[in-house]
Structure 1
């Protein structure tokens, strides 16, 4: 009788991480250290917030994610000894983030995650955040709920952009002067025609008096719908890029 049991080794930190040096980022592996997984649809690779947090913050500073989702940014903040606040309108996402934050290792970070509206951060004081690091929905490409009125992933394109203006306004208010805000956004198609959602969102943040610091092109990997579309005779190119906009207040 074979009593051998499989041993699963969980790495708290990535084994092959190097800080990105250019404006083209490509992570073929999602990253599976600590409690990171790809189960929450649309979540970003932990390589993205890790790069951003390391570049734009110092240990002990406060990071805000207005669209916390399953908590990828918050987990990275904890691993890197930053304090963090995560907001998400969907309580299911909040509960999942809390579960993923239960990492067994020594950390002095303070991490708070709660249900809330990204357009109304009244619980956070003006000029109280060192770095905003967030990944909003790409309009209604993925609907994260069916019955939450404040969920911007359920809105029409025009309404989504209107609400993103409020998101940018609150990000500007809570961010400390001269500090940075990073937002990842992708373009979308409507009836085969490209809609430059990324640049529309960039324009919204610039209209809130942010200054453009970096425009990073991120190559998209592991998209669930890619194989579906590749099997069809398309008259347009598959979207394989996303933008990471870094703004300074």
Structure 2
């Protein structure tokens, strides 16, 4: 990332997650001023910089694997999963393991926010920023052309969301409304396999007005042009050699 001008009014924010053995999930945002980070004295002396904590939340009811993203001046925590009993998928064969006792990861809809412009807010809590139409497991949060896009980083099917109809959504910041978008065919590629998937198996990045997506289970790269949403997801021409993808969390 390249910063223009001086560093006096800019900070670097780091989002941290901790999943504890007592069942509590903890999320914190810490910050350091860029003026201190790049000062000549810090670079020459090798001294350790102290991060200040600006936001914090913890609780037994917080989802695991919430995603962190940026929208304007806001840092978001969104989605994630909680364990819920699902008697239908618990009895299915293949990728679903009956030994789990019927408890399956259920994607969550909640979105929480910390606004970096409001340094007077309590550092012990985030505030609510609405919710998705449907839950998303560790979603990619992507700001493109002034709108916020949320794409689940891997599909989770359950008896309440058998088709994953809202794996991909967009927020209209003026109306404050989330709208469903077509999910990428890469999820269909995954659903034809029998292996369990995790967040590390799916990859998403942005170039211009295009959102790209692929996975270890897919033979193709797909792109969604936010300037032409009616065209949906389109497969790129087949590449015979692997290419480097940037994974964004």
- TM-score by length of structure 2 reads 0.29
Greater length-normalized contact order (CA 8 Å, ≥ 6 residues apart): 1
The structure where strand makes up a greater share of residues is: 2
TM-score by length of 1: 0.29
Whose radius of gyration is greater, 1 or 2? 2
